[in-house]
Amino acid sequence: KASGIWGGRFNAGPSAVMQAINASVDVDKRLFEQDIAGSLAHARMLAACGVISSEDEHAISSGLIAIRDDIIAGDFEWKPELEDVHMNIEAALREKIGAPAGRLHTGRSRNDQVATDFRLWLRGALDDAAKGLRAYQEALVKQAETHADWVMPGFTHLQTAQPISLGHHLLCWVEAAERDRGRLLDARDRLNESPLGAAALAGTAFPIDRSMTAAALGFDVPMANSLDAVSSRDFALEALAAAAITAVNLSRFAEEIVLWTSGRFGFAQLTDAFSTGSSIMPQKRNPDAAELVRAKPGRISGALQGLIIVCKGLPLAYSKDMQEDKQLVFDAFDDLALAIAAMSGMAADLSFNRETLEAAAGESYSDATDLADWLVRELGMPFRDAHHVSGSAVKAAEAKGLPLKDLPLSDYQAIEPKIDERVFSVLSARASMESRTSYGGTAPVRVMEQVKAWQEHFEFE
Ligand code: ARG
């Protein structure tokens, strides 16, 4: 038998498989708060515009609020035969208040309704992610302040390159997180327009006030084109792109945490709160959370790719393909929220090994550039020639198994007779770090300026 919302045109109900492929309520019931907020705004607007009576509006509104309470209390039965969150709530409203429930869907369709709900949900998720990133940045800045003058090896190609400040290294991730926040919040600003009242695709003949519902829901404006309102999902693509890039940046620091906490590096450790053991090897302390953050770009960028393919080639206006958007976005933003929280936690939890870092910073001829710079500065040599002389010194020192600072002056002078005693003053990791005072450089004075700048930036907000 045919029943339900479109029963008028149908003789029979759907097959089991039709219902199984069509139902989305298991996923989209997560939108219940947004769905009810949208319906409350819509009902009030309909009454204000004289489309429904204020008695009906009151019945609808109090019914919706009661349903919201039921859902929060876990006292609501979601029915897959009612397809999605929208029809479940509408059916429950009819059960609660009877006939007036049937007036709520005037001048509206599920197409503008779901777009409205989804934008509201994503707006909240983007705000939360930005907030989480701020906490992560604050944890990093605090560590950077404590470790501004700790020297560590800076790497290129994961080969020891030049000594840097640990604080400087940590502030690099604060910069990246700031751009990630910017991208997430840009996406938030661009999606903050109201589709509600676009109805199925063409608008409505009822004298509705879309500005009123837009304002009630905190949207900046009603969307100007009804087709665009119901068929665009680029807002979700943009949010996923921002999420994917954020996840990539987080994964890079996560990888460093994995490396730094390994015995081979011995730069840092996580406390028990962020470590796991092994079921067989009693000695193990594994950085599982960092590894999982390292893995998250797989799923999050997968969601982006997935939704891109869903949207590609879709003609106007709404097609049911679009229902597949929510699971991808929910999963991606759940993953992102966890990744951000885990990184904030680990950023605060990490403790560092000063001696190991400083010793590593001085290894592998990391002061060879300082030697070359000294030749340029003190002997007036062109940098390319100085590079060659310094390279010869490294070769000589390596042959003797010595660091540059222990290579005898006579060996230096055999390479370049004008080199004198003063050269030894630049041959240490700490001197190297402290010398790099250019704007944006790693000298602790510059790092502390950046720490202060970030602290003021956080306070100013
Ligand atoms: N559950 C649907 C979705 O998420 C709601 C919109 C359904 N619209 C329709 N014309 N069947 O996309």
How far apart are the CA of 143 and the centre of ligand 1, in A? Answer: 48
The alpha carbons of the chain give a radius of gyration, in whole angstroms, of: 31
Structure tokens at 169: 């290294």
Residue 152: Cβ-neighbour burial (10 angstroms; 0-12, 13-18, 19+) = buried
pLDDT in tens, 296-314: 999 999 999 999 999 999 9
How far apart are the CA of 323 and the centre of ligand 1, in A? Answer: 6
- Of 163, 83, 72, nearest in space to 358 by CA: 163
How far apart are the CA of 33 and the centre of ligand 1, in A? Answer: 17
Considering the candidates 53, 62, 278, 351, report the single residue annotated as catalytic. Answer: 278
Residue 231: is its pLDDT beyond 90? yes
pLDDT in tens, 412-450: 999 999 999 999 999 999 999 999 999 999 999 999 999
**Check: CATH 1.10.10.10 for 111-197+224-359?**
no
Angle at 207 between CA 201 and CA 209, to 5 degrees: 80
Place of tokens 């002061």: 367
Considering the candidates 157, 279, 410, 438, report the single residue annotated as catalytic. Answer: 157
Predicted pLDDT at 344? 98
pLDDT in tens, 258-275: 999 999 999 999 999 998
Whether residue 323 has its Cβ less than 6 Å from ligand 1: yes
Exposure of 446 in the CB half-sphere (CA atoms within 13 A): 17
Place domain 18-106 in its CATH homologous superfamily: Fumarase/aspartase (N-terminal domain) (1.10.275.10)
Predicted pLDDT at 339? 98
Residue 364: Cβ-neighbour burial (10 angstroms; 0-12, 13-18, 19+) = middle
Share of the chain above pLDDT 70, in %: 99
Residues of the chain with CATH 1.20.200.10: 111-197+224-359
pLDDT in tens, 61-99: 999 999 999 999 999 999 999 999 999 999 999 999 999
How far from the centroid of its chain's Cα atoms is residue 425's Cα? 44
Mean pLDDT of 137-151: 98
Place of tokens 């989209």: 28
Taking the C-alpha atoms of residue 100 and residue 56, their distance in angstroms, rounded to an integer, is: 5
**Closest ligand 1 atom to the C-alpha of 83?**
1
Q: Pick from 105, 114, 233, 321 the residue to mutate for probing ligand 1's pocket: most ligand atoms within 8 Å of its CB.
A: 114
Structure tokens at 429: 């990791």
SS3 call for 222 = strand
Whether residue 34 has its Cβ less than 6 Å from ligand 1: no
Residue 356: Cβ-neighbour burial (10 angstroms; 0-12, 13-18, 19+) = middle
SS3 call for 152 = strand
Residues of the chain with CATH 1.10.275.10: 18-106
Residue 205: is its pLDDT beyond 70? yes
Place of tokens 């966890």: 338
Q: Report the helix count and the strand count for the chain, using DSSP H and E.
A: 18, 6
Predicted pLDDT at 3? 67
Q: Is 147 a catalytic residue?
A: no
pLDDT in tens, 6-32: 888 898 889 999 999 999 999 999 999
Q: Is 278 a catalytic residue?
A: yes
Whether residue 82 has its Cβ less than 6 Å from ligand 1: no
